[in-house]
Amino acid sequence: MNHRRCGICLAGALSALAVPLHATVPADPVALLAKAAVPSAKPWKALEARKASIGKIEVEVGDVFDLAKPEENTWIGRTADRLHASTKEIVIRRLLLFAEGEPVRERIIYETERLLRALPFVKTARIDPRTEPDGTVVAVVRVQDAWTTQVNAGYSQVGGQKSKNFGVDEKNFLGEGKSMAFDLSKDPVRSTWGLAYGDPQLLGSRWTLDMRTQYLSDGFARSIQLQRPFYALDTPWSAGAAVSANHNLLYVYDHGIPVYQAPFVQNAFSLSGGLALHEAENRVWRAGLLLQRQDTAYGTITQTAPAGSLFPPSLTDRRLRGPALTFATQEDAFHEFVNLQAVDYPEDYNLAWNGDLTLGTYSRAWGSTLAAPFFLLEGSKGWSSSADDLTLLTASWGGRKPATGLEDSLMSFSLVKYQKLEEDRILAGLVAVDRAQRPDPEHWYYLGGDQGMRGFPNELHPGDARWLASLEYRLLTDQRWWGLVRLGYSAFVDLGSIHQMDGQGWSRTYSDVGFGLRLGNLRSSLGRVILLSVAVPLNRESYQNRWQFTFGNAMRF
């Protein structure tokens, strides 16, 4: 539900904006390829039917710009390809789910395509068969690199509050697939600078490593995660460990400003492992064990601004430690779409029912300050009758239940609908509902700009329940500037309300309308749509501006 108001891809967008508005280029071949959402021919299916084997694998990694095409052979394209470090072939080969000498399995081929497309340094990926005169089947893996060096800079002024940020993010360092990031930010509450490193193929293996550290004006936040995930449907096992530490101030907001603050320390550790129990056709069932430890401590709470009728939250230190069993089921029912959320990129969505369940107990014998069962249930489902419509449902419910009753119970539900009126005209809608019972103070809900109300300041009001609805009309044009950006427009309306923590019941229904640009970032690996929009609150608060501007690349739906 996050919706950022700052951060924009300067490398991809600002260069494009320098082109005259009338400048256009021929249709991007990637877009034409993506329009074939479901291939008309099924060559891999025919090869599987005749029990063919893969005799050889060839990997072709294409540059960000194809200089053999006149529309891409510009000074920007030539400069980008010279500066860009191409993905090394071994990085792609390590991700393949099939090997030479193995029989052809159509599902595995298309699953591999999806894994490749999901990489932040890959723009498109296709795997095609080629039969040699001697009958050998060659799997040709064609990958096109994305531009992976991103400079993020942003400035916003919302409700009289100024925020700014700057960062550099590289998602394919030296072509090895590793990511490195540096960021600086300052908002009315704190200043932050941070570093991050990610390795999706630790020492050439299936293990992944993610490390992050942030130094805040009021503390720090650090995390390390080492994991061997269920990277494919038939992966036999997974394992992982995660450590995090957050030492900073906890803020409670109202009317967009912090009204209470308290020192906040939370240290967590988890250890997990899982096994695939059963696989039938395209569905797998998994089970595992989770060991969890979380220590939370609060300092003395102080009031920093007039709080009106909002009382300070109750702060209770706690230690939560205990084991849990995990269960999961997943089915491979992915379908490929284009121009729903992104622009000119293949988008993969799973239309099957998928779910995860965690059941455990915090135990005093393990050092916990309370004995309490805990749980987390997550589920998702998709529906589609054609490449022109898609409905996505996600839901979750988690919490713990000590002797005093259910607490920190967080329930969420969202429904997203896409409907193409024509190939380049899309209606997109979102309905989201969140409900909490006795939430921990750090899990209070808020209503405002960051939560999808684009015409209002961030953290408008705190609460324990909220609902949000958005409807957006999206229009894509045929204008593509220097092969970098495809121009699009949008018009939208947002509605929302929150059940307030100050005992005043449900807030009024806030609403806003707006319009803006949707710039399809055709070459970058990050922020594939850049949003520049202006929203007008229809029932604004007395202290806020009449117009709210949004610049960024964080999308809700």
pLDDT of residue 344: 86
Computed over every residue of the chain, the mean pLDDT equals 87
Residues whose CB is less than 8 angstroms from the CB of residue 78 and which lie 6 or more positions away in sequence, other chains included: 65, 67
Q: Which of 405, 403, 467 is nearest to 435 (CA)?
A: 467
Cα 115 to Cα 89: distance, rounded to the nearest angstrom = 15
Whether the per-residue pLDDT at 553 is higher than 80: the answer is no
List the chain domain ranges: 147-552
> What is the arithmetic mean of pLDDT over 294-299?
97
What is the distance, to the nearest Å, from the Cα of residue 258 to the centroid of all Cα atoms in its chain? 27
* Higher-confidence position of 552 and 509: 509
pLDDT of residue 554: 67
Q: Which of 363, 374, 368, 372 is nearest to 399 (CA)?
A: 374
Least confident of 154-168, 403-417, 514-528: 154-168
Fold exhibited by the domain 147-552: Porin (2.40.160)
* Higher-confidence position of 102 and 65: 102
Three-point CA angle 3, 380, 283, nearest 5°: 140
* R_g of the chain, CA atoms, integer Å: 25
Strand order in the sheet with 137-145: 54-62, 137-145, 122-131
| pLDDT tens-digit readout, 466-511 | 999 999 999 999 998 877 889 999 999 999 999 999 888 999 999 9
Other CB atoms within 10 Å distance of the CB of residue 82:
8
Cα 63 to Cα 177: distance, rounded to the nearest angstrom = 15
pTM (2 d.p.): 0.86
Long-range contacts of 434-437 (CB under 8 A, 24+ apart): 434/1, 434/410, 434/465, 434/466, 434/467, 435/410, 435/411, 435/464, 435/465, 436/408, 436/409, 436/410, 436/411, 436/464, 436/465, 437/399, 437/406, 437/407, 437/409, 437/464
Tokens of 283: 């569905």
Long-range contacts of 266-270 (CB under 8 A, 24+ apart): 266/294, 266/295, 266/296, 266/297, 266/442, 267/294, 267/295, 268/242, 268/243, 268/244, 268/292, 268/293, 268/294, 268/295, 269/241, 269/242, 269/243, 269/244, 269/293, 269/294, 270/240, 270/241, 270/242
